[in-house]
Structure 1
Amino acid sequence: MTTAQIALAVALCLVLLPLGLAKIAAVPFMRRAAAHLGMSAGHYRVIGALEVAGAVGLLLGPVSVPLGVAAAVGLALLMAAAAVVHLRHGDPPARAVPAAVLALAVVAYAGVAIAAG
C-alpha cells in the first residue's frame, strides 16, 4: 500500500461515486444524458452501479491488490467505452475527454497498485 495508491483511489472515488449514484438515482441531468446517448434509464442505472462497484473496489484495493486491479481494469474499460459512445453519437471530442482522462487515471492506479505489490 502506497500513498500514491491511496491518493488515486480517493480522488477517483470522489469523482466516480457521485456520478454513479446520480445515474442510479436517475436524476434529471443523468436522464437527459442517457436519452441523448440513446440509452434507457435502466441501462444508465446499470452503468451507474458498475461505476459505484468499481469505486468501492478501488477503495478496497490497498487491502486486496487483486480486487483493486480488477476494479481498475473494469473501470478503464467502462470509461473507454463511454468516450467511444460519446464520439459515435456525434458529440464534440471535448465531451469524451473526461471519460478518457478517468480511463487513464484508473490505469495509473492499476500500475501503482501492481508496483506496490
Structure 2
Amino acid sequence: MSTAHTVVTVLAAAMAGFSAYALLSRAAWVVEPLAEYGVPRSWWTPLGLAKAAGSLGLLAGFLVPALGIAAAIGLVLYFTGAALTVLRARSYAHVPFPLIYMAPAVATLALA
C-alpha cells in the first residue's frame, strides 16, 4: 500500500464522514437543498447512514482491502446518484458539490 493511497483513502473517509455528519445533524446548508431537489425527508437518515458506512468501510479497508474497495465503489455510486439528483432538479450550480466528494473515492479506487 502506497503513501498516496493511504492519504487519499483517509481524505475520502474524512470527507464522507463529514458529509454524513452534516446530513445526520440536519445542517441547514445540507437539508435545505435536499428539500429543494425533492428528496423525501424520510430518506435523509438512511442516506446519511450510507455515507457514514462508506466512510467507515474505507477505513476498514486498511485491514480488509476488499471491504475498502466495496466502500469506495458504494461512495462513487452514492455521489453519482447525488449528482444526478441535482441535475434532475436543474440546480446546475450545485453539481460540483457531489463531484468534489466523489473525487477522493474515485482516486482511492484508482490507487487500490
Bigger mean CA offset, 62-71 vs 39-48? 39-48
What CA distance in whole angstroms lies between the structure 2 residues aligned with 1:30 and 1:99? 11
Contact map agreement 1:17 1:51 (CA 8 A) in 2: yes
- SS of equivalent residue, structure 2 residue 38: coil
Tell me how large the CA RMSD over aligned residues is.
1.5
CA deviation profile, 1:27-83 (whole Å, cap 9, x unmatched): 333331221111222212211111111011111212111000000000000011111
Bigger mean CA offset, 38-47 vs 24-33? 24-33
Q: Which aligned pairs between 1:52-63 and structure 2 lie closer than 5 A?
A: 52-63=52-63
Q: Which aligned pairs between 1:1-117 and structure 2 lie closer than 5 A?
A: 1-92=1-92, 94-113=93-112
Unaligned runs of at least 5 residues, structure 1: none
What TM-score do you get using the length of structure 1 for normalisation? 0.85
Unaligned runs of at least 5 residues, structure 2: none
Contact map agreement 2:12 2:108 (CA 8 A) in 1: no
- Cα deviation for residue 15 of structure 1 reads 1.6
Report how many residues are paired. Answer: 112
Contact map agreement 1:26 1:41 (CA 8 A) in 2: no
- Cα deviation for residue 98 of structure 1 reads 2.5
- SS of equivalent residue, structure 2 residue 62: coil
Letter of the 2:28 partner, please give it: P
What CA distance in whole angstroms lies between the structure 2 residues aligned with 1:31 and 1:100? 18
What CA distance in whole angstroms lies between the structure 1 residues aligned with 2:52 and 2:66? 18
What TM-score do you get using the length of structure 2 for normalisation? 0.88
What CA distance in whole angstroms lies between the structure 2 residues aligned with 1:18 and 1:25? 10
